[in-house]
Homo-oligomer: A and B are copies of this chain.
Amino acid sequence: MTKGAATRDRIIQRAERIAGLEGLDGITFGVLAAELAMSKSGLFAHFGSREGLQLAVLLRAVDRFHADVLYPGLRARSGEPRLRSLVHRWLAWERTREARGGDLLSAAAFEFDDRPGIVRDCLVTSQRRWLATLAVACTIAIEAGHFRAGIDAEAWVREAHGVILAHRVAQRLLGDAQADRRAAAAMDELFARSREVAHKPRRRRAA
C-alpha cells in the first residue's frame, strides 16, 4: 500500500465509524480533520469533496456486503437453498451493526432517498442489483419446482426486504428483545408459504 493509499484508508476507517453512529451525513471534513489531526485541505486532496468521501465509505460497505452475503450465499445449491442462504446471510449481516456496515446501507436508504447525487446513485444501483439477484434466485426456485408456480418473484423479494427493515426498527429503535427470533420466524414462514401449493397438487395427483 502506498503512503497515499494508507492515509486514504485511515480516513475512510474513521469516517466509517462516524457514519455508523450518525449516518453518512455525520461525515464532515471539519470533524474528521480534528479527529485525525489533518488539515481540511489534506482531506480534500484525497477525496475531492465530502461527497467523494461519503461515496468511498458507501462503496466499502457494499464491498463487505458482497464478501459477507452475496459471494458465500451464491455458493449454495441453486433454487430454494441458494435463496435461503442469501436471505439468511442478509438478515445476519443487518445485525452486525457499524463494524461491518450493516447499519449503514439500510440507514442510507432512508437518509438519501430524497437527495440526488452520486451517493444516492451508487446506493440505488447497488440495492437494485441486490434485489434483482434475489429475484433471479427466487425465479430459479420456482422453475426448479421448489416454490409453487405463480409466485411473483419481485413481490417475494419485497416481502423479504420488509422482514429485514421491520426487524431493524424493532431491534434498534424499539428495543424488542425478541426481534431476532421473530425475524427468523417470519422468514421461515415466508419460505414455508412459498412451497405450500407445490405440496398440495402432489397429494391431489396421488389421490
A positions within 8 Å CB-CB of B: 21-23, 25, 103, 106-107, 109-115, 120, 123-124, 127-128, 131, 154-155, 158-159, 161-170, 172-175, 182, 185-186, 193, 204, 207
Contact of A113 among B120, B155, B159, B172 (CB under 8 A): B172
User: B173 near A158 (CB under 8 angstroms)?
Assistant: no
Number of copies: 2
Q: Knowing A103-B114, A175-B124, say if A161 contacts B169 (CB, 8 Å).
A: yes
5 pairs of A and B residues whose beta carbons are closest in the complex: A162-B162, A165-B165, A113-B172, A162-B166, A110-B110
The answer to whether A173 and B21 have CB atoms under 8 Å apart is no
- Extra contacts besides A120-B173, A127-B169, A158-B186 (18): CB < 8 Å: A21-B114, A22-B115, A23-B111, A103-B114, A107-B113, A109-B169, A110-B110, A110-B111, A110-B168, A110-B169, A111-B111, A112-B173, A113-B172, A127-B174, A155-B182, A162-B163, A162-B165, A165-B166
